[in-house]
Amino acid sequence: MTMQPLTCERCGQCVLIEKFSPAHTSVQWTGDAGRCPVIAEQGRGVGHQERGCPDLHRTIDRAVRAQRLPVSRIELPSGDAIPRLH
């Protein structure tokens, strides 16, 4: 699976999303994240651990529930296909 475009229901900012599990979501902003009013109001710098937007999280969760955003399935190698370091 590749990243899928998704528009925030609150502010209309577009992001690229890949959902791997209920707890693991990869988000890539297509523009300046500071244009999101929630993130701008927080005043936290890039990379701050608590920087984020609950409205975007809700948009992602709704898209997954509505099956507009698929959950990626990663097949891990097994048996002899597992790379070994000797």
Q: Is 76 in contact with 31 (CB distance < 8 Å)? A: no
Q: Parallel, antiparallel, or unpaired: how do β-strands 14-21 and 24-29 relate?
A: antiparallel
pTM summary value: 0.78
pLDDT of residue 86: 63
| In the chain, domain spans | 4-75
Q: What are the tens digits of pLDDT across the range 13-57?
A: 999 999 988 888 999 999 888 899 998 898 876 777 677 899 999
Residue 2 has pLDDT above 70, yes or no: yes
pLDDT of residue 81: 67
Residue 68 has pLDDT above 90, yes or no: yes
Cα gap 44→67, rounded to integer Å: 32
Q: Which residues is 7 bridged to in the sheet?
A: 14
Name the strand (E) or helix (H) holding 60.
helix 54-65
